Amino acid sequence: MAKKLTKQDCINVIYGATVLGAGGGGSPECGIDMLENYIKAHGDIELEMISTSEMDPTAYAAVTAGMGSPVALKGKDFTMYGVNSYNALVDAAAKMGRKLSYAIPVEMGGFNTFVPMLIAAMNKIPLVDCDGAARAVPALDTLLLHVNGLDTSPLAMADNKNNRLIIELGDPRDAAEGEVIGRNICVAFDMMAGLSGWMVTKEQIEAAIGNGTVTRAMMVGECLDKYKKEKPAVNFYDYLAANSELKAKGICRGKITKVDVKVKGGFDYGTAVIAGEDGCTYEVLLQNENLVMFKDGEVVMTAPDIISFYDIEAQIPLTNADTVEGQYVDIGIIEVDERWWKQGEDYINEIWKPYFTNVDYAGKIVRYPN
């Protein structure tokens, strides 16, 4: 049944999606800023969210996201980048005889989950309760949309001045080529661009990508709000596991002793080191998102399952754009959506292998420990 989302619902989604974003998906500060800017300009937010069962089976939904360095995106109003890219794709869809009627998030994250919510509010169209990855991912070819066989092309890119272009790939499924082209355009747009694409139908969404994930993010945000009010002396991720249906687990509580992040080619690459209160040293390797976690040199878990940080003193979930030395944090892990394994673990290893290589991890996927 369609749901009208309130301002508080949007705030809960932003923070919950940050928890589920595995260190990526954009800073929640950016999402909150966009929400506040919308309310200043338009009054209270009016946003309708529907389930996939309520979609017109002949119409299409599309994702819209920010492309570029998460560090570059911080502190900037992304609104018109996103709206311009979505509207460019609406025009492209019309030329193809398609009716583009809905917005969906490309992934989970405090920024990228809210962008299509904002577009839905501004264009007076429904948001569909799903997303394209059920976590945040470093590149287009690591989206569930790609992993489970859906077309990337056509893609629309735009900036805040409505400079726009359409990318039509020779092979509509060649997400890796779309990523290369898009990243180069993003660099030309000064490391920040709106990106819309992945036009999908109700049937395709239900078969291939995470359903109900915006509601899940809202639930995590509500749980986070309760945790902040109750102030229990437990790791946030253990509290989340005890108060939700998510499979989540606290790994450690400790202080970040080192953060080494470099921006290259539109990505943030780096390492975070945490001195655990349990006497162990934890190291997390990242390419925009947290990809691999070690405990005293032994692998604990890798993507696509979710590695997440929570700032205990600031009482907010962290992205890698917000992480600095000296923060006192909980680290936790969360089991990813089951649709990640539809094609088999060997196939998913091949999907993530280039990104593991980028952060100097030569091993295979290590899944959430059941």
Mean pLDDT (the chain, rounded): 93
What is the three-class DSSP state of 338?
Answer: helix
Regarding whether 175 and 271 lie in a shared domain, the answer is no
Distances (CA, A) of 150 to 206, 245, 368: 12, 29, 26
The residue type found at 236 is: F
Domain contains 202: yes
The residue type found at 309 is: F
pLDDT at 140: 85
Regarding whether 198 and 263 lie in a shared domain, the answer is no
Counting Cα atoms < 13 Å in the Cβ hemisphere of 178 gives: 28
Query: Is the peptide bond preceding residue 154 cis, with omega within 30 degrees of 0?
Result: yes
Predicted confidence (pLDDT) at residue 74 exceeds the cutoff of 70: no
**pTM (two decimals):** 0.93
Domain contains 56: yes
Domain contains 157: yes
Q: What is the CATH number of the domain that holds 20?
A: 3.40.1610.10
The candidate with the shortest Cα–Cα distance to 213, out of 67, 33, 354, 52, is 52
Structural domain count, the chain: 2
Q: Phi/psi of residue 31, each to 5°?
A: -65, -45
The residue type found at 159 is: D
The H-or-E segment that residue 185 falls in is helix 175-188
Domain contains 257: yes
Domain contains 91: yes
- Which string of DSSP letters, residue by residue, matches 39-84? HHHHSS--EEEE-GGGS-TTSEEEEEEEEE-HHHHTTS--HHHHHH
pLDDT at 5: 96
Domain contains 327: yes
Q: What is the DSSP letter of 126?
A: P
Distances (CA, A) of 183 to 119, 189, 190, 292: 22, 10, 11, 23
Domain contains 217: no
Regarding whether 297 and 250 lie in a shared domain, the answer is yes
* Boundary-marking domain end, from 192, 211, 230: 211
Regarding whether 101 and 53 lie in a shared domain, the answer is yes
Regarding whether 268 and 168 lie in a shared domain, the answer is no
Written as six digits, the tokens of 209 are 């990508």
Regarding whether 169 and 285 lie in a shared domain, the answer is no
Q: What b-and-e string marks burial along 244-270, b requiring 16 or more CB atoms within 10 Å of the CB?
A: eebebbbbbbbebeebebeeeebbbbb
The candidate with the shortest Cα–Cα distance to 157, out of 91, 67, 32, is 67
Regarding whether 323 and 261 lie in a shared domain, the answer is yes
Regarding whether 178 and 265 lie in a shared domain, the answer is no
CA 67 distance to own-chain centroid: 11
Instruction: Give the sign of the dihedral formed by CA 54, CA 57, CA 58, CA 61.
Output: positive
Are the C-beta atoms of 289 and 143 separated by less than 8 Å?
no
pLDDT band at 86 (very low <50, low <70, confident <90, very high): very high
Regarding whether 113 and 57 lie in a shared domain, the answer is yes
pLDDT at 70: 60
Domain span including residue 93: 3-211
Regarding whether 253 and 207 lie in a shared domain, the answer is no
* Boundary-marking domain end, from 158, 190, 211: 211
pLDDT at 71: 62
* Boundary-marking domain end, from 211, 231, 250: 211
Predicted confidence (pLDDT) at residue 348 exceeds the cutoff of 70: yes
pLDDT at 123: 92
Domain contains 347: yes
Instruction: Give the sign of the dihedral formed by CA 65, CA 98, CA 119, CA 110.
Output: negative
Candidate from 10-14, 250-254, 261-265, 356-360 with smallest mean pLDDT: 261-265
Are the C-beta atoms of 295 and 369 separated by less than 8 Å?
no
Regarding whether 167 and 93 lie in a shared domain, the answer is yes
Q: How many CB atoms lie within 10 A of CB 163?
A: 13
Digit-coded pLDDT (tens) for 251-268: 999 999 999 888 776 678
Predicted confidence (pLDDT) at residue 294 exceeds the cutoff of 90: yes
Regarding whether 200 and 261 lie in a shared domain, the answer is no
